[in-house]
Structure 1
Amino acid sequence: MRLTTRTNLALRTLMVCAVNPDRIVRKSDVAAVINGSENHLAQVVNQLGQSGYITTLRGRHGGFMLARPAREISVGAVFRTFESDLPFIECMAKDNTCPLKGVCRMAGHLANAVEAFYATLDPLTVGELVECNEGLESILALNSIARGASLARCEKAKTVAA
């Protein structure tokens, strides 16, 4: 199984937004830190906005930010948003032309395997990917203020947990 570039860009974009929670993020900023194409990113940002993961702001000072807390965004749900319309194999496509159609027993097993893959990712949140992940934050924080605030939140969480 292989995820599409769009799914990869979507998850990275959400992580950038999560690391920079008090900032309006621009497409060019995200493209620079994740080494992605702005053209591909434009499509991804549009779909993330339409799906309710981010709030977009138009205009000269526009950009986007998470529409809800990172801890409420399921990685499995994001993957389904970007992958569900792509069939895993021809027999799962609406226009299935496989000559084994109707007699092959593999399609049901593959559908179960794909669903198990998504179900494994459902409890994982974007917040869990970024919280107290100093290495990731050092790459994705768009300024030193965001980096410092994130480290302070992590230290506070460690203190509360102890």
Structure 2
Amino acid sequence: MRLTNYSDYALRSLIYLAVKPEPETLANISDIASSYNISKSHLTKIIHQLGQLGYIESVRGKNGGIRLAYAPKDINLGVLIKQIEPDFDLVECFATPVSSDDRKPRSTGLPITLINEDVNKTVGCVITPVCQLKGVFFEALTAFITVLEKYTLADIIKNEDELSQFLFSQKM
């Protein structure tokens, strides 16, 4: 399983906001992008989504910026990843469940379900209807998400002083 750069940058942004020297003060996207040497334009999309999901607060205007909307202990990594990863389709026989009425992903507690292929239907893999491997992948992916759900942002910033040195020392 490999997470997208999008998820990686989202987590890094939250780490940055959680360990900045004065948590109440606003940060800006340029500073985060510069600290991690990542694309500001890509990061802007990520910050926007984190704001829409309620993880960060945005303040507009000349002195505007962003900050965490919740305490780090209240930001669950598994929940976050399930919200921002575009899909968990490890193999073609995985699919994100979709509600037929509004075409939005359903909340099932798990990030994916398995497609029950019609035996007579043409699929990319000829053994999909009888394959046992998809069950193994499903179990592995479920375990991956379950582990992430055991941790919060607070758990991964316990070395806050060290993180701050790497992120902010060149600016001081």
Q: Is the 8 A contact 1:23 1:65 kept in 2?
A: yes
Alignment of 1:85-124 (within 5 A): 85-93=87-95, 97-124=124-151
Alignment of 1:34-113 (within 5 A): 34-83=36-85, 85-93=87-95, 97-113=124-140
Structure 2 equivalent of residue 155 of structure 1: none
Q: Is the 8 A contact 2:19 2:160 kept in 1?
A: no
User: What SS does structure 2 have at the residue aligned with 1:28?
Assistant: helix
Structure 1 equivalent of residue 17 of structure 2: 17
Q: Is the 8 A contact 1:53 1:73 kept in 2?
A: yes
1:5 aligns with 2:5: yes
1:31 aligns with 2:33: yes
In structure 1, C-alpha distance between the alignment counterparts of 2:60 and 2:127, rounded to whole Å: 50
Q: CA deviation at 1:103?
A: 1.3
Q: Is the 8 A contact 1:16 1:141 kept in 2?
A: no
User: What SS does structure 2 have at the residue aligned with 1:102?
Assistant: helix
Structure 1 alignment gaps of length 5 or more: 145-162
Letter in 2 for 1:26: N
Letter in 2 for 1:8: D
Q: Which has the higher helix share?
A: 1
Letter in 2 for 1:28: S
User: What SS does structure 1 have at the residue aligned with 2:57?
Assistant: strand
Letter in 1 for 2:132: R
1:129 aligns with 2:156: yes
Q: CA deviation at 1:59?
A: 2.4
Judge which range, 90-99 or 34-43, deviates more.
90-99
User: What SS does structure 1 have at the residue aligned with 2:129?
Assistant: coil
Judge which range, 88-97 or 75-84, deviates more.
88-97
Q: Is the 8 A contact 1:130 1:137 kept in 2?
A: no
Q: CA deviation at 1:54?
A: 0.8
Q: TM-score when scaled to structure 1?
A: 0.79
In structure 2, C-alpha distance between the alignment counterparts of 1:84 and 1:106, rounded to whole Å: 22
Q: CA deviation at 1:86?
A: 4.1
Deviations 1:39-72 (A, max 9, x none): 1101111111111111112222222111110111
Q: TM-score when scaled to structure 2?
A: 0.75
Cα RMSD after superposing both structures = 2.1
